Amino acid sequence: MKKRIVALFLLMSLVMMGLTACGGDDPVSVAKDFIAALKEEDSARINKICTEEFAKEANEMIAQVKFAKDNFNEFKLDGDKYEYEIKDNKATVSFELIYDFGSGEITESANIYMIKKDGKWIIEGVD
């Protein structure tokens, strides 16, 4: 039961929060960088790739990942099957969010929405 609650909380946090990142040559590299920073609990990197407004929420997501790692020894978080579509200066990255609390992988579809600003892809939101 505890695993399901944490899994749902983590997923809801990823899905419901608007994210903003910068850097990367293409939308997929930006999306992968964000997932990697979450996985590595890298607050400095998250702060660097997120808007000032979103930094607090993104660091709360890191706290949730840390909680899951501390409470579930086999916790894993990853992304897979990244695909993207670009229209004008906007991009949508669709991918599979994969997490495991030690009792089997759970896969959820997710989208990251980006806009290109000053030549860099910036994450605007996730669902």
* Relative orientation angle of helices 2-16 and 52-71, to the nearest 10 degrees: 160
- Domain range spanning residue 27? 2-126
How many Cα neighbours within 13 Å face the side chain of 111?
A: 9
Q: How confident is the model at residue 74 (pLDDT cuts 50, 70, 90)?
A: confident
Rg (CA), the chain: 14
Name residue 105's beta-bridge partners: 100
More reliable by pLDDT, 91 or 22: 91
Model pLDDT, residue 92: 93
pLDDT tens sequence across 13-39: 554 443 333 445 788 998 898 889 889
| CATH number for the domain harbouring residue 80 | 3.10.450
Q: How confident is the model at residue 10 (pLDDT cuts 50, 70, 90)?
A: low
38 close to 59: Cβ distance less than 8 angstroms: no
Q: Is the pLDDT of residue 96 over 50?
A: yes
> How many structural domains are present in the chain?
1
